[in-house]
C-alpha cells in the first residue's frame, strides 16, 4: 500500500473514530445526564428550573408547528372561501407523545382536534387563546400559535400536560442550549480528550511508517559515505519509500561495481607500467651493449660491426613495434568511438585479406586453411581494425611457434546470436592456468620475460578491445595449439538495434 493511500485511510479512520466517540458521548449525555437534571428541583444546584422547563416546552411546540405540513380541505358543499387546514398525522402523533393535544380553528369553526374533556376544561379556564398566548399551571400549559394560509389566519391551540409525557421522548427533544454549565464543560473536556487520544494514536502510526525507512536510508547513506558498499536496506514495503530504498540499493550496487572496476583498472595500469618498463629496458640494454662494443673496439672487424649494427637495428625495430602497439592500445583505451562498423560479407572480406597477405604468409612459411559454413554470412565490423586483429593473431602464431613452419585454420560459422570466427594454429598452445589472463595487457605465459623479442604482450589485449568494441566476445582455448574464438553480432541484429 502506498504512503498516500495509507495517509488517506489514516485520516479517514481518525475522523470516523472521533465522530463515533462524540456520538457515543452525546448519547450518553442525553440518556444519563439530562434525565438527572430534569428530575432535580428548581432549588437544586445544577438543575433546570421550571421557567427553563416551560421555555423548553414552548420551544418544542413552535419547532413542531413550523415544520408541520398542512393539508387544505374544502368541506363538502362548501364555498372556496371556507377552506380548512388539516395537520400532518405523523406530527400530531409526535406531539401527542410529547404531551400535547392540538386544536386547529378556522374562521368557520374547528377543523381538527384530538383534545380530551380535561383539555376542554383547561381551555375554558384559559379563556380566548390567540397568537403567542400561553396559560400556565404547575403541570399544564396552554399555548396558541397563529398561521397564515391563502391570505387567511388560522389558530392552532395546544394543551400540554406533564402527566402524559413519554419521558424518553422528552429527553431526546431537549435542546442543547439548555445543557447545564457543569455538564457542558464535562462534555467538552471528554470530547477534547477523545480527539487528542485518537489523533495521537494515528500520528504515532503515521510517524512510524515514515521514520522507519528514513532511518534506514540515513544509516545506508552514512555507511556508503564511509566506504561500506555491502549494506543492504531491508525495507520490503511496496510503497514510495520502498521505491526510494530500491533505487538507493541500485545506486549502492553501481558504486560497488564502479569501485571494483576502478581497482581492476588501477591494477591493470600498474601491470601496464611494469610491462612497459621491462619491455623498454630489455632492448635498450641490448642496444647500449652493442653500441659500447662498437665504441670500445670489440667489433674490430667489418663482419662484427655489421652484426652489431644489425642487432641494434633489430632491437630498434622491437622498440618501434612496442611503441606502435602501445600507442594503438592507449588510443583504444581513451576513445570509445574509435571503431566504425559497417555491414561486411565475411567470406569475401577474409578471402580478400588472405590474398593481400599472400606474400607475407609465404615469406614466413605460414599455411592458412580457410572454410565457412555460410558464404553469405554478414557481420557489422570495422574493416581496418579487423585486419589488425588478424595480423596480431598471425604474428602471435609466428612469434611463438616451435618450428620454422606454421599451419593456421580460419573458420566462419553461424551461432544463435550472430557469427563466430575461429582462428587456430598448430603452435605449442598455453597452459590452462594462463588462458584466463591471456587477453590482459602485457600478459605472457613466459612470466620471466626473458625473451622480449617475442612480443610485448599487448597484441591479444588489442584483439579483445577491438572485438568487444564491435559488440562481440573473444575467448581462448588450447588443445594441441591455441584457438581464438571471436563471436560477432550479425549485421541484421545490429540494424534492428
pLDDT digits (tens, 9 = 90+) for 76-102: 665 665 677 778 888 888 888 888 888
- Tell me the three state secondary structure of residue 366: strand
Residue holding cell 380548512?
84
- Please give the pLDDT value at position 143: 82
pLDDT digits (tens, 9 = 90+) for 311-364: 899 888 878 877 776 777 677 666 566 678 889 999 999 999 999 999 999 999
Q: Quick one: average pLDDT of 11-31?
A: 68
Say if residue 149's pLDDT is above 90: no
d(C-alpha 311, C-alpha 309), whole Å = 5
d(C-alpha 36, C-alpha 41), whole Å = 10
Kindly report which listed range (28-37, 100-109, 211-220) carries the lowest average pLDDT score.
28-37
Residue holding cell 374547528?
110
d(C-alpha 81, C-alpha 149), whole Å = 12
Kindly report which listed range (144-148, 151-155, 174-178, 183-187) carries the lowest average pLDDT score.
174-178
Q: Quick one: average pLDDT of 169-197?
A: 61
**Residues β-bridged to residue 489:** 418
Other beta carbons within 10 Å of 357 = 18
**How does residue 145 score in pLDDT terms, banded at 50, 70 and 90?**
confident
pTM of the entire predicted model: 0.46
490 DSSP assignment: B
What value does the mean pLDDT of the chain take?
76
Contacts of 180 by beta carbon, 8 Å cutoff, 6+ apart? 37, 46, 47, 48
d(C-alpha 441, C-alpha 463), whole Å = 11
d(C-alpha 415, C-alpha 420), whole Å = 7
The CATH architecture one would assign to domain 337-496 is 2-Layer Sandwich (3.30)
Query: Which residues in 96-128 are b (16+ Cβ under 10 Å) and which e?
Result: eebbbbbbbbbeeeebbebbeeebeebbeebee
DSSP H or E run through 342: strand 342-345
31 DSSP assignment: I
Say if residue 408's pLDDT is above 50: yes
74 DSSP assignment: P
d(C-alpha 114, C-alpha 425), whole Å = 124
Other beta carbons within 10 Å of 438 = 21
Asked whether 87 and 104 are in contact (CB, 8 A), the reply is: yes
Provide the H-helix boundaries in 29-158: 34-39, 50-66, 89-97, 117-126
Amino acid at each position: 500500500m502506498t504512503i498516500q493511500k495509507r495517509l488517506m485511510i489514516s485520516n479517514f479512520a481518525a475522523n470516523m473514530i472521533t465522530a463515533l466517540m462524540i456520538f457515543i458521548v452525546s448519547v450518553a449525555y442525553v440518556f444519563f445526564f439530562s434525565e438527572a437534571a430534569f428530575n432535580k428541583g428548581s432549588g437544586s444546584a445544577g438543575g433546570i428550573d421550571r421557567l427553563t422547563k416551560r421555555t423548553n416546552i414552548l420551544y418544542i411546540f413552535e419547532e413542531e408547528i413550523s415544520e408541520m405540513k398542512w393539508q387544505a380541505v374544502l368541506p363538502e358543499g362548501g364555498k372556496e372561501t371556507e377552506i380548512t387546514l388539516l395537520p400532518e398525522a405523523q406530527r400530531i402523533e409526535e406531539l401527542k407523545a410529547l404531551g400535547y393535544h392540538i386544536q386547529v380553528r378556522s374562521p368557520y369553526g374547528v377543523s381538527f382536534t384530538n383534545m380530551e374533556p380535561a383539555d376542554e376544561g383547561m381551555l375554558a379556564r384559559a379563556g380566548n387563546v390567540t397568537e403567542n398566548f400561553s396559560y400556565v399551571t404547575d403541570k399544564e400549559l396552554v399555548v396558541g400559535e397563529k398561521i397564515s394560509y391563502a391570505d387567511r389566519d388560522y389558530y392552532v391551540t395546544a394543551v400540554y400536560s406533564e402527566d402524559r409525557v413519554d419521558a424518553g421522548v422528552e429527553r431526546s427533544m431537549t435542546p442543547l442550549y439548555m445543557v447545564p454549565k457543569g455538564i457542558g464543560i464535562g462534555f467538552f473536556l471528554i470530547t477534547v480528550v477523545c480527539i487528542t487520544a485518537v489523533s495521537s494514536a494515528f500520528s504515532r502510526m503515521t510517524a512510524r511508517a515514515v521514520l522507519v525507512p528514513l532511518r534506514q536510508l540515513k544509516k545506508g547513506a552514512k555507511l556508503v559515505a564511509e566506504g561500506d558498499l555491502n549494506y543492504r536496506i531491508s525495507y520490503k514495503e511496496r510503497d514510495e519509500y520502498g521505491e526510494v530504498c530500491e533505487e538507493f540499493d541500485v545506486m549502492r550496487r553501481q558504486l560497488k561495481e564502479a569501485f571494483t572496476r576502478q581497482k581492476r583498472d588501477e591494477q591493470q595500469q600498474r601491470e601496464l607500467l611494469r610491462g612497459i618498463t621491462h619491455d623498454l629496458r630489455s632492448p635498450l640494454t641490448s642496444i647500449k651493449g652493442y653500441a659500447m662494443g662498437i665504441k670500445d673496439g670489440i667489433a674490430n672487424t667489418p663482419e662484427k660491426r655489421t652484426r652489431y649494427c644489425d642487432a641494434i637495428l633489430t632491437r630498434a625495430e622491437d622498440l618501434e613495434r612496442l611503441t606502435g602497439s602501445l600507442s594503438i592500445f592507449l588510443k583504444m583505451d581513451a576513445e570509445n568511438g574509435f571503431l566504425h562498423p559497417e555491414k561486411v560479407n565475411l567470406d569475401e572480406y577474409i578471402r580478400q585479406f588472405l590474398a593481400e597477405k599472400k606474400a607475407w604468409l609465404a615469406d614466413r612459411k605460414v599455411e592458412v586453411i580457410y572454410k565457412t559454413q555460410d558464404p553469405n554470412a554478414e557481420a557489422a565490423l570495422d574493416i581496418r581494425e579487423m585486419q589488425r586483429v588478424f595480423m596480431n593473431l598471425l604474428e602471435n602464431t609466428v612469434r611463438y611457434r616451435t618450428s620454422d613452419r606454421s599451419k593456421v585454420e580460419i573458420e566462419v560459422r553461424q551461432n544463435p546470436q550472430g557469427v563466430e570466427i575461429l582462428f587456430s594454429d598448430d603452435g605449442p598452445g598455453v597452459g590452462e592456468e594462463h588462458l584466463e589472463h591471456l587477453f590482459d595487457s602485457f600478459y605472457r605465459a613466459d612470466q620471466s620475460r626473458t625473451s622480449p623479442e617475442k612480443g610485448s604482450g599487448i597484441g591479444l589485449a588489442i584483439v579483445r578491445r577491438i572485438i568487444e568494441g564491435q559488440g562481440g566476445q573473444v575467448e581462448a582455448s588450447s588443445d594441441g595449439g591455441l584457438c581464438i574464438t571471436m563471436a560477432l553480432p550479425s549485421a541484421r541484429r545490429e540494424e534492428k538495434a
